[in-house]
Chain A
Amino acid sequence: MSTATHKLLKGSTGDWEMVIGMEIHAQVTSNAKLFSGASTAFGGEPNSHVSLVDVAMPGMLPVINEECVRQAVRTGLGLNAKINLRSVFDRKNYFYPDLPQGYQISQYKSPVVGEGEVLVELDGGRSVTIGIERLHIEQDPGKMLHDQSPSLSFIDFNRCGVALMEIVSKPDIRDAEQAKAYVTKLRSIMRYLGTCDGDMEKGNLRADVNVSVRKPGGPLGTRCEIKNMNSINFIGQAIEYEARRQIEIIEDGGQIEQETRRFDPDKGETRSMRSKEEAHDYRYFPDPDLLPLEFSQEFVDELKAKLPELPDQKKTRFVADFGLSAYDASVLVAERESAVFYETVLDKLANRARDGKMAANWVINELFGRLNKEGRDITDSPVNAEQLAAIIDLIGEGTISGKIAKDLFEIVWQEGGDPRALVESRGMKQVTDLSAIEKVVDDIIAANPDKAAQVKDKPQSLGWFVGQVMKASGGKANPQSVNDVLKSKLGV
């Protein structure tokens, strides 16, 4: 835990601190399911991606999909976590129609990944380290369809048996902001790794959140678990609501019952699902159909050697190589696609050491700003990385000014085309010819003798002359040259 300050909630008896732990269920990116060869493709006709194993036909046996194991190990490495060379699959026994075997194959006592940690950035340059307790692999159940018939429920087993990673945090999270940032960071890491697509709308990333409250630094309170949330904003809302609910109960002299709750996004509140007494006894025991999962350190090392650069490493590199601010760098690396876009721009630049930082400003301010305004995604940006790099080259080499560049960006956004050719064909080139600039300067000084006289006393009014010259040149005059010429002519 870093000492980043976190939000406390005010109650009638003073401040309260939230203690939050999370279980993230992340669908493993793989072609086939965890224990069968059936496809994991999303959106198929119901029950079109189902094998005999998935629906637990008599005599069927699970066979581990090694790719899912590799993905879990990669994720563990991305979380700076201990990789367990031997882990065990257990059966979690309970009855539900979406669970054909009558048990979920999971990992209980011996998970494939042990303790790790994640650095989470917060607003204002603060950050906090959240501990990872463990990561284990398990099967996703099927999906109940209750809206197909007034009297019957149907089940779609397409999802049944797809591999999930359950990532359990330590109870290190202290407020909703940290919780949201933690999920965002985990999602980002997994997307960089290609181990989970992080698509929360499709339910490929879901979170169970354990919330309790206590007096700051005091003993832990009783926790409630809010199940199955698939939106980062809902997670934040649910935590705030749940913490306030608990504070109210305690301050009214009541006690928190340990229970499982559900968040209702329409009402913005959590509701009880089942109490501790109703909790299942899952009767975990090692799955006798599966041998313990064992692999060598070499297997891990090989995966480690091939890991892509992760957001934290990328950020450090951006700061060191291009002088980006830590904030700008973290904005660029937050989404893998943004980082890829920025790096493609860098690749295309004529002089990336000179213009790397400018490129970052352009990506963050002009491009992201414009994309956000139109609700578009970086992956379908009308201005591609090559075009943006060309615009930055034109600025860097002094062919156009920053102001003209913004116009040029707008043209490329609207019409497309090669920025360099557009600058030529539309006469947007910056004027660096000193004699041409001198002529304009002379004209303006001649037309404004009073102001020219005042400049010596009020050097700040030089700006007015610069503005006039730029205006007269249609923005094409090189601002530095204009400045130099004005200064010499006006004697300042």
Chain B
Amino acid sequence: MTDLTSLTLAEARKGLADKTFTSLELTDAHLSAIEAARVLNAFVMETPDQARDMAREADAKIAKGEGGPLAGIPLGIKDLFATKGVRTTACSKILGNFVPTYESTVTSQLWRDGAVMLGKLNNDEFAMGSANETSCFGPVGNPWRREGSNTTLVPGGSSGGSASAVAALLCMGATATDTGGSIRQPAAFTATVGIKPTYGRCSRWGIVAFASSLDQAGPIARSVRDAAMLLRSMAGHDPKDTTSVDIPVPDYEAAIGKSVKGMKIGIPKEYRLDGMPAEIEKLWGEGAAWLRSAGAELVEVSLPHTKYALPAYYIVAPAEASSNLARYDGVRYGLREQGKNIIELYENTRAEGFGAEVRRRVMIGTYVLSAGYYDAYYLRAQKVRTLIKKDFEDCFAKGVDAILTPATPSAAFGIGEKGGADPVEMYLNDIFTVTVNMAGLPGIAVPAGKDPQGLPLGLQLIGRPFEEETLFSLGEVIEQAAGRFTPARWW
């Protein structure tokens, strides 16, 4: 049954519809794979009983011809999504054994469409990180290794569990969230496809908040088509999230295979960094060539405020986080460390419950919002954000349909290799992705090749607001040209 795990979601859907296998068989195959891959530490909570119950239910519906668009498809859920009756921690000690009495809008839409939950996936604590090393459950292993090396590499972050599990064929797809690159960077590190849709496309209701104005849910999948299928179920207006947008969700899958002929693709010159590794440069050029040969027109564009994006992001995101994380105070749920008075209770709980990176960002955020610093930091960063947004708007106004960039400045690195001395070294991972969150645009990362050590690399396509379909069409062109990549199993 192990080959069932190597199917794409689209192939599995066909197999289920044709009764070649059942959802229960498909689910069991993945549950076995999860069990065999515990060394990767991708799952922080396995829910096999629930998975089998859901699979049986899906089988019954498929038999009656009532299966939804994702009927019987086993998925992993990032631990940032509240799942009713199933422990949800955001991989933070401070949430302890928190079990929500509610289901996030995004996951409930997946279950509505027949998907099966395999369990909860590891992530950086409160989604703060780019290597999945800040999780209270420990780091996640990337199924990819450098050729001839036994060193375990990071899968990227914060959706490291999602990316690792999808790449290692432990689930057919996974939910993820992206605040500054947390879907696209791990997708690039693991040769999976990840899309961060337009801000407002998916409901944030029931997703543990990191930075509310930047957070957006999206899928990590094995192919562009799979990502399109998943996003269709995840997206949609939700009256419970007033920042979600009330426009119809298109059939994203229909965009797959659609001609990109005549599309204008921007190559932003500011993304050509000094000292950019040759393999990234080469990959970018190849991506451009593939799109050109598919009929797209390549044009150089300018996004002049790009260099301010990362510093501005590291003001806005921590500012919002410092406020969003204030609710974890030991009073109502989660961890409580007693103290002599309420102030001590707060201090003890939060010192014990939050990891170092979260504490750092809460402190940065508190600082930039404080009296006397607000104007110099937060307000200025918001102005920069407006300029970044305008850069993209100007670009799109000139008829550009999408922008092609590398997804990351390098391939995956070893656990503990980066950011130990200087956190900025880690933050630089998001250099190509944060602009997209700051502007609220959709961005997709698609596997496009390998570096000289055999590690996967990805390209990013950035689209106009709510034009995810364009990204799927273009992403498919890259996927067709570059092929799909599967890691050699070592676990």
A-side residues, CB < 8 A to B, are 52, 55-64, 91, 93, 95-97, 100-103, 155, 281, 283-285, 288-291
Residues of A within 8 A of B378 (CB): 285
Residues of A within 8 A of B283 (CB): none
Q: Contacts A58-B82, A61-B205; is A288 near B326 (CB within 8 Å)?
A: no
Q: Tell me how far the C-beta of B203 lies from the nearest C-beta in chain A, rounded to whole angstroms.
A: 9
Tell me the bound Cα distance from A96 to B320 in angstroms: 19
Residues of B within 8 A of A288 (CB): 211-213, 243, 320
- Contact (Cβ within 8 A) A58 B208: yes
Tell me the bound Cα distance from A100 to B334 in angstroms: 13
What DSSP secondary structure best describes chain B's contact surface? loop
Which of A57, A59, A155, A285 is close to B333, meaning CB atoms less than 8 Å apart? Answer: A57
Name the CB-closest residue of A to B88: A58
Closest 4 CB pairs of A and B: A102-B326, A288-B212, A288-B213, A283-B369
- Contact (Cβ within 8 A) B100 A58: yes
Residues of A within 8 A of B228 (CB): none
- Contact (Cβ within 8 A) B369 A93: yes
Mark contacts of B321-339 with chain A using CB atoms, 8 A cut-off: 1 yes-contact digit, 0 otherwise: 0110111010111000000
B-side residues, CB < 8 A to A, are 81-82, 88, 90, 95, 98, 100-102, 104, 204-209, 211-213, 239-243, 319-320, 322-323, 325-327, 329, 331-333, 342, 346, 366, 369-371, 374, 378
Tell me the bound Cα distance from A291 to B246 in angstroms: 14
Tell me the bound Cα distance from A294 to B23 in angstroms: 48
Q: Tell me how far the C-beta of B367 lies from the nearest C-beta in chain A, rounded to whole angstroms.
A: 9
Tell me the bound Cα distance from A103 to B329 in angstroms: 12
Q: Tell me how far the C-beta of A109 lies from the nearest C-beta in chain B, rounded to whole angstroms.
A: 11
- Contact (Cβ within 8 A) B332 A59: no
- Contact (Cβ within 8 A) A91 B323: yes
Which of B240, B320, B329 is close to A95, meaning CB atoms less than 8 Å apart? Answer: B329
Residues of A within 8 A of B204 (CB): 59, 61
Task: Name the residue in A61, A97, A155 with the highest tally of chain B Cβ atoms < 10 Å from its Cβ.
Answer: A61
Tell me the bound Cα distance from A59 to B205 in angstroms: 6
Tell me the bound Cα distance from A290 to B332 in angstroms: 24
Q: Tell me how far the C-beta of A218 lies from the nearest C-beta in chain B, rounded to whole angstroms.
A: 30
- Contact (Cβ within 8 A) A285 B326: no
- Contact (Cβ within 8 A) B329 A102: yes
Name the CB-closest residue of A to B346: A95
Residues of B within 8 A of A60 (CB): 205-206
Task: Name the residue in B211, B241, B323, B342 with the highest tally of chain A Cβ atoms < 10 Å from its Cβ.
Answer: B323
Q: Contacts A95-B326, A285-B319, A285-B378; is A59 near B82 (CB within 8 Å)?
A: yes
- Contact (Cβ within 8 A) A59 B342: no
Residues of B within 8 A of A96 (CB): 342
Residues of B within 8 A of A91 (CB): 323
- Contact (Cβ within 8 A) B370 A283: yes
Which of A57, A101, A103, A290 is close to B102, meaning CB atoms less than 8 Å apart? Answer: A57
- New contact pairs (11) apart from A58-B327, A290-B242, CB-CB < 8 Å: A58-B88, A60-B205, A60-B206, A61-B205, A91-B323, A93-B322, A97-B329, A97-B331, A97-B342, A284-B374, A288-B213
Task: Name the residue in A58, A63, A95 with the highest tally of chain B Cβ atoms < 10 Å from its Cβ.
Answer: A58
Residues of A within 8 A of B323 (CB): 91, 93, 102-103, 283, 285
Q: Contacts A64-B242, A100-B331, A283-B369; is A59 near B206 (CB within 8 Å)?
A: yes
Q: Contacts A288-B320, A291-B243; is A103 near B371 (CB within 8 Å)?
A: no
Tell me the bound Cα distance from A95 to B342 in angstroms: 10
- Contact (Cβ within 8 A) B370 A281: yes
Residues of A within 8 A of B329 (CB): 95, 97, 102
Which of A61, A63, A285 is close to B369, meaning CB atoms less than 8 Å apart? Answer: A285
Tell me the bound Cα distance from A288 to B241 in angstroms: 11
Name the CB-closest residue of B to A58: B208
Name the CB-closest residue of B to A282: B371
Q: Tell me how far the C-beta of A227 lies from the nearest C-beta in chain B, rounded to whole angstroms.
A: 19
Q: List 23 A-B contacts (CB under 8 A).
A: A56-B327, A58-B95, A58-B98, A58-B209, A59-B81, A59-B100, A59-B206, A59-B208, A61-B204, A61-B205, A62-B242, A95-B326, A100-B332, A101-B327, A102-B323, A102-B325, A102-B329, A103-B323, A155-B331, A284-B369, A288-B213, A288-B243, A290-B243
- Contact (Cβ within 8 A) A61 B213: no
Tell me the bound Cα distance from A60 to B239 in angstroms: 12
Tell me the bound Cα distance from A456 to B461 in angstroms: 115
Tell me the bound Cα distance from A283 to B100 in angstroms: 30
Tell me the bound Cα distance from A281 to B368 in angstroms: 12
Tell me the bound Cα distance from A93 to B213 in angstroms: 17
- Contact (Cβ within 8 A) B240 A63: yes
Q: Tell me how far the C-beta of B344 lies from the nearest C-beta in chain A, rounded to whole angstroms.
A: 12
Q: Contacts A64-B242, A93-B323; is A281 near B82 (CB within 8 Å)?
A: no
Tell me the bound Cα distance from A325 to B468 in angstroms: 72
Name the CB-closest residue of A to B126: A58
- Contact (Cβ within 8 A) A101 B208: no
Tell me the bound Cα distance from A21 to B228 in angstroms: 59
Residues of B within 8 A of A57 (CB): 82, 100, 102, 333
Q: Tell me how far the C-beta of A309 lies from the nearest C-beta in chain B, rounded to whole angstroms.
A: 35
Residues of A within 8 A of B243 (CB): 288-291
Residues of B within 8 A of A103 (CB): 323, 326
- Contact (Cβ within 8 A) A52 B242: no
Tell me the bound Cα distance from A56 to B325 in angstroms: 10
Tell me the bound Cα distance from A290 to B240 in angstroms: 11
Tell me the bound Cα distance from A284 to B90 in angstroms: 26
Tell me the bound Cα distance from A245 to B76 in angstroms: 67
Tell me the bound Cα distance from A439 to B325 in angstroms: 95
Residues of B within 8 A of A155 (CB): 331
